[in-house]
Structure 1
């Protein structure tokens, strides 16, 4: 699957589909076109954008998410298909039948992985990481003690400085994190829909206004990979602005090769593997989640890329 993300940042663009190409026009003039087979997702972050009905139908057919963002690069809407998998009804039935104890165990697994990866992110940078490895082992069913939150309070000051506050509308590097998470969220949304699961039937996230609760659950263990790249961009290279080049580098995280127990594959593929393993967990009624298992040397490649 392609990792290419098409972002429309200029105002008053018209997007349509013609003979397998997404065509981009301004005032009726063709200014660019991209093969739709090359696209993983589309991000609309400009004003006055117009999309043809035929394009929206083709995006839905191919499970390509269209993410609409506000000025702070925070997603406010995502277009997703009603029918994304040949066995979708059965998959969603399994989702609806999942018991609360299994949901809590699945969330425990996701949180434990996230905290462990936060520890790895800090360790590869030569920062104190031991407490995160210990916390990752102490996560209980449903994370009732909110170790995820406790870890976050320690993590951000260590990673980005004691004055840094993680707010989606806050100063840089929040903008870099926002964009990196958009990339991750859109890739996860596509994997969820392609896997026949309903994105709003989550494990932990419960916001009634969030139609992508499952997506937000599943992307948690992958966030530290974005954080590591943002550390490099912001603190090592002094980057504060989201230029086209920086956006491209954030998108490239999906192509990073990460080790697993038996193989090496891209981050994008690992997201798909996690969704498949979630389906298997639902079917067999036990935790069978599959994650990448990168070494510190493997993560160093993100810094060297």
Structure 2
């Protein structure tokens, strides 16, 4: 099994094709060649790039996530292959019958880790983290008391200012957050698809209009990584440099369960452990202690 680790971002007019197991990117000034086995995500962040059908087909065979952006550089769609895992039918059959006690226990853990990571970020930035440890300690199975929402109401105003809300579409900070979250969502969807499961069937997110319910569930513990970067660039417009910084978070080194890993590989580890637990292959809940290596 290959260990792809690179996120390739295309930002200018070019032609992209496939040659001898390499992605070949030809611009007016240069030719770059990247081993396809190294690539986990290809983000085409411009409408001025041309990619051959043969190249797309070969990328899909290697399970590379291909994401397309609009003329503003915002992700609008992606391509998934049909044959991500030979055991896909068996995995999906398990997925639709996941045990409710296991889904509730896993969601409890996800919310606990998300609140823990939110509090840690506030503390790292010398901001007020009062109340987060107490909230984390009182998360019930399935988060039946909705501690996640309580934490969010405390967290975002402390991080981005008292008047900030996630519902304010005119606030540029939300554009930064949404862009970063979309990139993370796509990366997690790739891991889920690679494991042979559907992204549409989640454990907490169950919207019929959301094609990425399960990715939405699993990405919760990773959101503070995006939040940290957005905090650092919060006073800047969402332009090429800021978008690249958000995309490059996938290559950052974090500590997960006591060992160092890139964010992309940590996502793969979290996805595998979650699916093993939900499918009964793993008896105990994972730990998922995630620390930013800064």
Is the shorter-chain TM-score for this pair beyond 0.5, marking a shared fold? Answer: yes
1:15 aligns with 2:11: no
For structure 2, the 5+ residue unaligned runs are none
Aligned-pair CA distance for 1:2: 4.4
Q: Equivalent residue of 1:151, what SS? A: helix
1:183-205 deviations in whole A, cap 9, x for unaligned? 32222122212222222221111
Cα pair distance change 1:256/1:49, threshold 3 Å: closer
1:269-291 deviations in whole A, cap 9, x for unaligned? 22111111112202327562341
Taking the TM superposition and a 5 Å limit, the aligned residue runs for 1:210-229 are 210-229=210-229
Q: Equivalent residue of 2:279, what SS? A: helix
- Taking the aligned partners of 1:153 and 1:130, their CA distance within structure 2 comes to 13
Aligned-pair CA distance for 1:49: 5.1
Aligned-pair CA distance for 1:73: 5.3
User: How does the TM-score come out when normalised to structure 2?
Assistant: 0.86
Cα pair distance change 1:251/1:67, threshold 3 Å: same
- Taking the aligned partners of 2:159 and 2:247, their CA distance within structure 1 comes to 21
For structure 1, the 5+ residue unaligned runs are none
1:178-237 deviations in whole A, cap 9, x for unaligned? 232233222212221222222222111122232221111111100001111221222xxx
Q: Equivalent residue of 2:96, what SS? A: helix
Aligned to 1:259: 255
1:276 to 272, 275, 284: 272
Asked if structure 1 preserves the Cα contact closer than 8 Å seen for 2:46 and 2:73, the reply is no
- Taking the aligned partners of 1:267 and 1:179, their CA distance within structure 2 comes to 17
Taking the TM superposition and a 5 Å limit, the aligned residue runs for 1:67-106 are 67-70=67-70, 74-106=74-106
Asked if structure 2 preserves the Cα contact closer than 8 Å seen for 1:25 and 1:32, the reply is yes
Cα pair distance change 1:112/1:38, threshold 3 Å: same
- Taking the aligned partners of 1:116 and 1:124, their CA distance within structure 2 comes to 12
Asked if structure 2 preserves the Cα contact closer than 8 Å seen for 1:4 and 1:251, the reply is no
Aligned-pair CA distance for 1:72: 6.2
1:52-81 deviations in whole A, cap 9, x for unaligned? 222222222111112233466554322112
User: How does the TM-score come out when normalised to structure 1?
Assistant: 0.83
- Taking the aligned partners of 2:169 and 2:286, their CA distance within structure 1 comes to 33
- Taking the aligned partners of 1:85 and 1:290, their CA distance within structure 2 comes to 26
Asked if structure 1 preserves the Cα contact closer than 8 Å seen for 2:24 and 2:32, the reply is yes
How many pairs align? 290
Asked if structure 2 preserves the Cα contact closer than 8 Å seen for 1:74 and 1:178, the reply is no
Cα pair distance change 1:262/1:122, threshold 3 Å: closer
2:289 to 281, 289, 292: 292
1:123 aligns with 2:123: yes
Aligned to 2:6: 4
Cα-Cα RMSD: 2.7
- Taking the aligned partners of 1:71 and 1:137, their CA distance within structure 2 comes to 45
Taking the TM superposition and a 5 Å limit, the aligned residue runs for 1:30-109 are 32-35=31-34, 36-47=36-47, 50-70=50-70, 74-109=74-109
1:239 aligns with 2:240: no
